Amino acid sequence: MKQRFTLRFVALLISLVSLPLAAKVSGLPDFTELVEKAGPAVVNIRVTQFGTRRQATPDQNGARRGQQGENHPEIPELFKRYFNVPKDPRSAQPDRMGAGSGFIYAADGYILTNHHVVAEADEIIVRMADRREFEAKLIGSDESSDIAVLKIEAENDLPFLRMGESETVKPGEWVAAIGSPFNFEQSVTAGIVSAKGRSNQAQRYVPFIQTDVAINRGNSGGPLLNMEGEVIGINSWILSSNGGYIGLSFSIPIEVAASTAKQLRETGKVERGLLGVVVGVVSREMAEALELDRPVGALVNEITPDGSADRAGLEPGDVILAFNDVPIETWNDLPPLVGANPPGTEAKVRVSREGKEKTFDVTLDALDGGSTNTITEQSNKANSENALGLVVENIDSERRRELGDPQGGVVITDIESDDAWRAGLRPGDVILMINNRDVENMDDFEALVKKIERNHAVALRVWRNGTANFIAYTPRDKNEG
């Protein structure tokens, strides 16, 4: 009996040791102290965009009449504008009202909020937690980062929030937001950081912080706080199918906001560096074709002639792996890193080219350049069946203009391969490169196609609708499904 008890006890100990480790739980956080300290520096922002009005004045008989010239049909329509006569008095627009949030970050009254909160506002009123109201002056606003700086004047120093570091924040950490959703002032919501480095087409230079903190209309511009009450982000937008919160909220990292605010206060504008490349996704097949061990980095689809990357020696087909020693995991990691530097910044760009890594020294241009292409004309010549399953021909000058003046290349006239069609190739596409080798004409195309092995991924640089992108696929034998 004693032996059985001992065996059971040992078995119980073994089962307890083998249990999976649970997440560390120390109780739910208490945000009351944080809110008491941070709340006084969070403000409600009300904006007004003045509409157009008919300014009527009483005539001698006490009746109302419109502006000068309104009751004078003999005045030609062309000249009524000089009398401030609306074309249709009934088309006068009322004032437009809006609201958002913000926070004071300096005791002398400087406030951070979103660009979209105050855009096109004629009047900005700031209401503090103690109900005091101030008319704010717009110091500067930047649409690309969705940041605006306001200034209010007060007799005494104002409460303000300290800025933290979003770079050290990790997914899973608790955070809180204070703002005015639906104009309910000083509303507090909390949650965790869900992810970092999210992208948005409208603000592609901002690596957003994703949280599950409840953010709604009116929260825009308010602070995202860590557990020390420091600002780590500015609440900017939500992803929603119905206009309301569904668990996906995005905030601008405070480092981006602080840099933008500094430039707006000093110069009234924001300058960003430009690398001069158009980048895209590195897919699994693209990684195989470009001799990468995994799909990583930003694929260079286009280079701006005489731009920063072009001068340094980068080429289409390069895969950017790091910028100033910061790894590039996906293509949307690159724009925020480049844009965070002013024009003239010297940087190092590490790329993979034909399976080998190279590092280039670049000097960033300013973010407002253009590009031009030169044209190489070739004679027409159709080709026969090939490993790619594509029928192509040279491009005459008239067809080249119709295609948007691509530099070099051959145009696809027919697609015989299901693999090529599924990959996205279409008749009218211009093939500029095959596996990082330029295609100037039919001779280049046929020479390169002869080297292609079936059942091995191939990368084509393709021109379509004025832009160039890479498409990768694996040409298979015809007897394969």
> Judging by beta carbons within 10 Å of its beta carbon (0-12, 13-18, 19+), is residue 215 exposed, middle or buried?
buried
SS3 label, residue 317 = coil
Closest CA to 300 of 470, 472, 473, 471: 470
Scan for tokens 């690159």, then name that residue. 334
Chain mean position to CA 309: 21
Rounded to whole angstroms, the Cα distance separating 247 from 454 reads 46
Contact (Cβ atoms closer than 8 angstroms) between residue 252 and residue 230: no
Closest CA to 261 of 122, 46, 102, 34: 102
Beta strands in 204-317 (DSSP E): 208-211, 223-225, 231-238, 249-253, 273-274, 277-280, 298-303
**Positive or negative CA dihedral for 268, 273, 276, 278?**
negative
Contact (Cβ atoms closer than 8 angstroms) between residue 65 and residue 83: no
For the stretch 292-323, what's the b/e string if a residue is b when 16 or more beta carbons lie within 10 angstroms of its beta carbon?
A: beebbbbbbbbbbeebbbbbbebebbbbbbbb
DSSP state of 82: G
> Judging by beta carbons within 10 Å of its beta carbon (0-12, 13-18, 19+), is residue 34 exposed, middle or buried?
buried
Rounded to whole angstroms, the Cα distance separating 288 from 261 reads 43
Type of residue numbered 253? P
Rounded to whole angstroms, the Cα distance separating 328 from 297 reads 5
Number of neighbouring beta carbons within 10 Å of residue 432:
24
Active centre residues (catalytic): 116, 146, 220
Closest CA to 38 of 186, 206, 238: 186
